[in-house]
Structure 1
């Protein structure tokens, strides 16, 4: 055997006990403690990394800042990390954890530069988050499942998504009173607008210039329609084609974030909506100016007020728009029938309010509240986050005609265009605020009891919550 001062471990005598000698107890304890500290630090880093990845996916796919923040705090609690602080500032997601034993902080952050609506991926990730909150799987297993969701093939091929956006344009043409020529022109124009803007997006062209190009295509197609069918209103083609480029969904997210207390993120999203609108202003004005050189002046009929007499056509057009939008943003197949049904319901509520004399803004708000309440029930039936249903169903109510009128008036130097723009903004805000209010009422009255909402400010619309104060099925 070696001497006590030797650095070589002693050879154990077969007759000695199998456990370490007393002199080795402290050193072995130190080694064990070192291993535990190392494992704890690695575990913390893995949990934070998984949490950030989950939050990034739902935020980039269309969730609001409140949902991303609540998800990060709930996931870390589910894995045993208490006292985490999460924050979202438009494109930056940050998560900080302070070790209660050493008071050392670990911070992770991600920059979400590009966001595009993908409700299929949002729903799948939300279901994974629900499973983590109920019974957390191994971190490595959760990361593998998330990687599968992210790398999965799109639910709808690119061609069908583009055809979906074309249906949005064609349905919008029917919704604002166009004829068959307008339907076809809007369908074709929207197809090429999406093709060109998608190509520009792949080349990382700023969104402002994408909308300039998209807005300029509408007047050009309108000029072609005027040559084919002089009796058609060419301005309706422009309205129908730019509806897919409007900042309605962006405005919804801005209002949601602002009402939830994320003022910086909400303001940034509102500026993003203004940037999109500015691109449309430039594109439509530039296209109109070019056409004016050839003697074609676009005029907008300000008296296109829908009535209940046209109810069958308007409801059909609304369903077509919602169907196209659902294809474009990849709404889960099981929720397709729900969003189409609620799209028709939203249009009916809006027409009923307008016929009763409530005006554009209040009729839009009433419709949004009704759809929001029904979406809370439908979300439980089809197992889809309420955000997916609400946004898809309210797309037909995006104020395209008002916005387009304001664009042309501003391009002509008419100050009345500012009033039209403000009206369009008020309608878009009423749609978002009404839907959010409905979700707030539902979640306040019936719960939710899930620990996900310990930091409850605004309604969670992209995450699983329980309706009821006891055990129940998750959304």
Structure 2
């Protein structure tokens, strides 16, 4: 196969090493061990980037298996848990197994890196590049840093907070306060993150700061609802996307990872509750009368305002997560369409859970072709498009009411779980329906173990590999 304009020169020389099956004779086992170790290391590091960027366990497992098989590895297994990736290979029945384990540490979500790694996986699977070049390219992606200055990320989060305030029916004062609170909370959490404080304490500090901002606004002559101001100010801290990831893992057969993610989401939300409670205590000490504060209370705006606010919020979140610029406008359009369907369904008397499910189904159905068009993983479009539906706000409301009204807290938690299930299952079902529409997908349909939001379905070039052999 000749090198083309998109095929690196050293990928050609590396092709023979990738496509040649591993020997199992006694004399070659030492060399084979080095080859197996290098292949497993590449697959594990790719899986680490995907898992830390929010990809589901099923996507990570499929990507690791595809990379291993594309690089010639056979008789291996790949296992994914919440904080650990494991690969085991045994070239023959009497051979000593090779095992590699990689701990997954938290890193800032970077959809730009995720997009580059997704493209790297596709090139490896398609046989365009070999293992050695892929390993060097992965090193460049991981070590290159972010593509945008940090001040622009804080500004985008401020835009996202203000847009959510618009989405929830706030006036210009609420929108402004939500934007300022989002920027300040981001700066505070980033400063605490540099000191390596656990995420729980960062959530407590963020909730405290957001509540103190609401207390300060209430102390002014401005006529605003303290509950609405607090709800819009803590949007940046909510863990709805993580909760959705947990539901996805549970639906796709990874209960252990799903349980860990759910526990993490509830712990982070409990930190917000503690911070907001501390801010309300400060208000009492200062003598600021906030009236009756209902945790997580909000009201939706008219549907045109909802569409505009939700679309801007989705695009701003994608920008803050370093998504490529070419994807921002399509993300805003897809989110606007989903929110429009959600508003129409609510207006027709459909329940909030079914309205969320219909909107998520449309989101999953449309995000797949849109993501392929703009050359990003569909996870980027889905995660940004689901953000305006705010499942985390219902979780916060349930935990916030637990100490004062047990029955209302139970109802809020059931509602939160129903919304999260509806959004996750709807988005995944949309992916199921969208993927077979592709021209080549009917040949792969029997092989699909689940929808892939990151990476290709399978090693499609394997037949061509045998032909070259």
What band does the TM-score fall into relative to the shorter chain? 0.7 to 0.9
* Structure 1 pair 345–365 and aligned structure 2 pair: CA distance change class (3 A): same
CA contact (8 A) 1:285 1:411 kept: no
Q: Which residue of 2 aligns with 1:132?
A: 124
Q: Which residue of 2 aligns with 1:6?
A: none
Compute the displacement of 1:458 (Å).
2.4
Q: Which residue of 2 aligns with 1:430?
A: 422
- 1:192 paired to 2:163: no
Matched ranges for 1:206-285 at <5 A: 206-285=198-277
Compute the displacement of 1:127 (Å).
0.3
CA contact (8 A) 2:124 2:130 kept: no
The equivalent position to 1:306 in structure 2, one of 292, 295, 300, is 300
Matched ranges for 1:386-425 at <5 A: 386-399=378-391, 402-425=394-417
Matched ranges for 1:266-345 at <5 A: 266-293=258-285, 294-297=287-290, 298-300=292-294, 305-306=299-300, 310-345=302-337
Compute the displacement of 1:345 (Å).
1.0
- Per-residue Cα deviation, 1:142-186 (whole angstroms, up to 9, x for no partner): 111001111123122211111111112111111111111111111
Q: Which residue of 2 aligns with 1:120?
A: 112
**Unaligned ranges ≥5, structure 2:** 1-24, 464-469
* Structure 1 pair 37–454 and aligned structure 2 pair: CA distance change class (3 A): farther
State the alpha-carbon separation in 2 of the partners of residues 94 and 285 from structure 1. 41
Q: Which residue of 2 aligns with 1:69?
A: 61
* Structure 1 pair 144–449 and aligned structure 2 pair: CA distance change class (3 A): farther
- What's the C-alpha RMSD, in Å, of the aligned pairs? 2.5
Q: Which residue of 2 aligns with 1:9?
A: none
State the alpha-carbon separation in 2 of the partners of residues 340 and 295 from structure 1. 39
CA contact (8 A) 2:116 2:141 kept: yes
- Per-residue Cα deviation, 1:73-125 (whole angstroms, up to 9, x for no partner): 11111111112100011111000001127432101111113154221111100
The DSSP-based 3-state class of the residue aligned with 1:264 is helix
State the alpha-carbon separation in 1 of the partners of residues 405 and 280 from structure 2. 14
Compute the displacement of 1:454 (Å).
8.4
Under a length normalisation based on structure 2, what TM-score does the superposition of the two structures give?
Answer: 0.86
The equivalent position to 2:90 in structure 1, one of 89, 98, 113, is 98
The DSSP-based 3-state class of the residue aligned with 1:228 is coil
Matched ranges for 1:339-418 at <5 A: 339-399=331-391, 402-418=394-410
The equivalent position to 2:78 in structure 1, one of 86, 89, 92, is 86
The equivalent position to 1:111 in structure 2, one of 103, 125, 147, is 103
State the alpha-carbon separation in 1 of the partners of residues 298 and 177 from structure 2. 19
State the alpha-carbon separation in 2 of the partners of residues 172 and 77 from structure 1. 44
State the alpha-carbon separation in 2 of the partners of residues 35 and 150 from structure 1. 36
The DSSP-based 3-state class of the residue aligned with 1:66 is helix
* Structure 1 pair 304–61 and aligned structure 2 pair: CA distance change class (3 A): closer
Q: Which residue of 1 aligns with 2:7?
A: none
Select the structure of larger CA radius of gyration: 1
Q: Which residue of 2 aligns with 1:180?
A: 172
Q: Which moved more, 1:408-417 or 1:196-205?
A: 408-417
Compute the displacement of 1:259 (Å).
0.9
The DSSP-based 3-state class of the residue aligned with 2:87 is strand
CA contact (8 A) 1:375 1:390 kept: yes
Aligned length: 434
* Structure 1 pair 455–246 and aligned structure 2 pair: CA distance change class (3 A): farther
The DSSP-based 3-state class of the residue aligned with 2:380 is helix
State the alpha-carbon separation in 2 of the partners of residues 203 and 301 from structure 1. 30
**Unaligned ranges ≥5, structure 1:** 1-32
* Structure 1 pair 304–74 and aligned structure 2 pair: CA distance change class (3 A): closer
Q: Which residue of 1 aligns with 2:13?
A: none
CA contact (8 A) 2:227 2:296 kept: no
Compute the displacement of 1:36 (Å).
3.8
